[in-house]
A = this chain, B = another copy of it.
Amino acid sequence: MSKNLLREDHLFKQVYDYVLTHIERHEWKEHEKLPSVRKLAEEMNVHRLTVLKAYQLLKKHKKVYVKDKSGYFVQPDLAGEHIENEDHPIINAYAQKNHLSEIHQASVSYDFSHALIDPNLLPNQYLSHYVKKVFDLYPKVLATYSTVQGDVELRETLASYFISQYKSQVHADDLLLTSGSQQAIHMIAQAFIKPRDTVLFERPSYSSAIDVFKNQGAKIKTVDIHPDGYDLLQIEDLMKTYKPRLFYLNPTFHNPTGYTVPAHQRKRLVELAEQYRCLLIEDDAYHDIYFDQTPPPPIYTYDASGTVIYIRSFCKYISPGLRIGAVLCQSALMKTLITVKSLVDNGSPLLNQKIFLHYFSSLRLQEHLKKIRIALQIRKEIMEKELAAANWNWVSPKGGLNLWVKLPEDISTEKLLMKSLDHSISFVPGQVCDPLKESSSMIRLSYSYANEKQLSIGLEKFIHLAKSM
């Protein structure tokens, strides 16, 4: 290859990457017009043909499209769309996205993007005692597979817990153990959704769940969530019009807003779901993290007909590293989920289930939860104090790990994220939590991962950064 050709190749790649980066960072929005070939060629000091070639390759890769010969436009992000990369014939994967995971790849000093609990707040010492106990009790635990559905001792223990908490009839056979609630969400999508099925989501919602269902090819309709819950007429209208197969919801200390759906709405929602044959997927990730009073009982406790699949994440505030979640549902749905579990990984590791079992059955659990609620409430209050000084707006949540904060309208949250990451601060822009991916002035700030000092220093820096924009 001649030197000239090499240089041209290099410039071509530069233009291609420049445009792609703008699109992928959503700095250039869906259906927005790209700069004209002439303009970009001038700006980047390259030949017009180089820009044209880059635009054409981007078109082939379905990143841009052409309209009425009036120019190139940003192609909307088509989940599940087949990308034939003709230049790299082997790399013809189907598009898969996980927006949250991309933000989390950055390692920062002031981490307000992870809705995880600071490892220093977790009962590490005690857990390592339980590990030794597990090996004494089950010397061949590492040589043994768990059943696909999960260890029966742990399922029985969790069933007793549900019965004692909610007086509802729960049997060990109604429970399936998963590798964290992420796996539960993915398995449900895999079992019940095919491309073009309609799915309801709260708006905003948990970003990784949105991505799971979008990658599965679901069409998404949204239900607004407010500080006092849903507009049930809106839900009925959506169920009637679109006949969604399921509604993924997070009604208790909702992620990202922190809102909680009141008991009377829970009851009515189950009736609607039954009437319109829509499964309710209740993701109860933050149930045990309340500050003043316990939340209303889960929606599944109102369900007599098997309309609800309940996902409970117990491990998050005990030992996230164990990766244990539980799914509770009626037997016909359970049968399908067990088969899916056998296909996706053939059962979670037994060791982890046994460690969790012994900690969960101990008296330490309730003590630990009491402590962690206090610690998190303190962290929340530190965050709120800093935000109050900045005059930003949010609804103070009664539990959970996040604040959902409204920034002044003139701040671009995407630009702020780029700038913040440069200053070793992370947060989640509201757009990532929006099933419709519209830009907004909302952001999610998690107060659970950073410690008290990091919270006050980091937030001060962060507010300063935002105000300087």
Residue positions of A touching B, CB distance < 8 A: 80, 82, 88-94, 96-98, 101, 116-117, 119-120, 122, 124-125, 127-128, 131-132, 135, 139-146, 148, 178-180, 182-183, 186, 190-195, 208, 211-212, 215, 245, 274, 277, 279, 305-307, 319-323, 330, 332-333, 336, 339-340, 342-352, 355
Instruction: Decide if B307 touches A96 in the complex (CB within 8 Å).
Output: no
Can you list 21 A-B contacts (CB < 8 A)?
A90-B306, A90-B307, A91-B332, A93-B336, A94-B191, A94-B192, A96-B191, A119-B140, A119-B143, A119-B144, A122-B140, A122-B142, A132-B132, A141-B321, A142-B319, A142-B321, A145-B320, A179-B349, A186-B344, A208-B343, A345-B345
Instruction: Decide if A92 touches B343 in the complex (CB within 8 Å).
Output: no
A333 neighbours in B (Cβ, 8 Å): 90-91, 93
Instruction: Decide if B194 touches A94 in the complex (CB within 8 Å).
Output: yes
Instruction: Decide if A212 touches B307 in the complex (CB within 8 Å).
Output: no
A155: shortest Cβ distance to chain B, in Å? Answer: 16
A141 neighbours in B (Cβ, 8 Å): 321
Q: Name A208's contact: one of B194, B346, B349 (CB within 8 Å).
A: B346
A56: shortest Cβ distance to chain B, in Å? Answer: 20
A90 neighbours in B (Cβ, 8 Å): 274, 277, 279, 305-307, 330, 332-333
A349 to chain B: closest residue by CB: B323
Instruction: Decide if A143 touches B131 in the complex (CB within 8 Å).
Output: no
A269: shortest Cβ distance to chain B, in Å? Answer: 14
A344: shortest Cβ distance to chain B, in Å? Answer: 5
CA distance A319 to B122 in the complex (A): 28
Instruction: Decide if A339 touches B144 in the complex (CB within 8 Å).
Output: no
A83 to chain B: closest residue by CB: B336
CA distance A346 to B105 in the complex (A): 12
A84: shortest Cβ distance to chain B, in Å? Answer: 10
A329 to chain B: closest residue by CB: B90
CA distance A91 to B98 in the complex (A): 29
CA distance A323 to B177 in the complex (A): 15
Instruction: Decide if A344 touches B127 in the complex (CB within 8 Å).
Output: no
A349 neighbours in B (Cβ, 8 Å): 179, 321-323, 349, 352
Q: Name A98's contact: one of B97, B139, B339 (CB within 8 Å).
A: B339
A97 neighbours in B (Cβ, 8 Å): 339
CA distance A96 to B332 in the complex (A): 13
CA distance A340 to B144 in the complex (A): 27
Sorted nearest first, the 7 A-B pairs with minimum C-beta distance are: A119-B143, A122-B143, A93-B336, A89-B277, A101-B342, A183-B345, A142-B319
A309 to chain B: closest residue by CB: B90
Counting chain B CB atoms within 10 Å of each CB, which of A97, A178, A330, A336 scores highest? A336
Instruction: Decide if B180 touches A345 in the complex (CB within 8 Å).
Output: yes
A338 to chain B: closest residue by CB: B101
Instruction: Decide if B145 touches A321 in the complex (CB within 8 Å).
Output: yes
A211 to chain B: closest residue by CB: B343
CA distance A194 to B119 in the complex (A): 40
Instruction: Decide if B343 touches A215 in the complex (CB within 8 Å).
Output: yes
Counting chain B CB atoms within 10 Å of each CB, which of A143, A186, A330 scores highest? A143
CA distance A127 to B131 in the complex (A): 12
Instruction: Decide if B98 touches A343 in the complex (CB within 8 Å).
Output: yes
CA distance A82 to B245 in the complex (A): 12
CA distance A144 to B124 in the complex (A): 10
A131 neighbours in B (Cβ, 8 Å): 131, 135
Q: Name A346's contact: one of B82, B135, B182, B319 (CB within 8 Å).
A: B182
A376: shortest Cβ distance to chain B, in Å? Answer: 15
Instruction: Decide if A320 touches B144 in the complex (CB within 8 Å).
Output: yes
A355 neighbours in B (Cβ, 8 Å): 142
A135 neighbours in B (Cβ, 8 Å): 128, 131
A187 to chain B: closest residue by CB: B344
A305 to chain B: closest residue by CB: B90
A180 neighbours in B (Cβ, 8 Å): 345-346
A352: shortest Cβ distance to chain B, in Å? Answer: 6
A145 neighbours in B (Cβ, 8 Å): 116, 320-321
